[in-house]
Amino acid sequence: MKTVLDSNAEYYRDFNNVGVSYADAEHWDNYCVWFETYANFAMSFDLAFRCCAVYEENPRVYNSDFLENACYYMAENTSINVGSFMMIFKAFMA
């Protein structure tokens, strides 16, 4: 039995529970591997972002590239504090 970490698009073909086409499976595979790696970081970033956005008059919406960069930053840096996230948030909202 293959798993998501095998990075094999054949696993996601039409006969599995996911039911995506072969062309979509290549992208789906990348997303599943990314989500398995950064799920906790993505959820914590989204929660923090939404909490900070409450205080903005016209909050912006982040895209997938910004989320990926933020997750990578959290995964690679162990000395993160609230001030560094506030700086990132304020720079994004400017």
Residue type, 84: S
Dihedral (Cα; 56, 72, 31, 10), 10-degree rounding? 180
Cα–Cα separations (whole angstroms), residue 1 to 9, 20, 23, 75, 93:
13, 18, 21, 29, 45
Give residue 8's pLDDT.
57
Give residue 36's pLDDT.
84
Total domains, the chain:
1
Give residue 14's pLDDT.
47
pLDDT in tens, 13-29: 545 555 556 666 666 67
Helix, strand, coil percentages in the chain from 3-state DSSP, rounded to 5: 70, 0, 30
Residue type, 5: L
Residue 8 is encoded by which pair of tokens? Answer: 């094999």
Which domain covers residue 69, as residue numbers? 4-93
Mean per-residue pLDDT, 59-83 = 86
Mean per-residue pLDDT, 1-12 = 53
Position 32 pLDDT exceeds 50:
yes
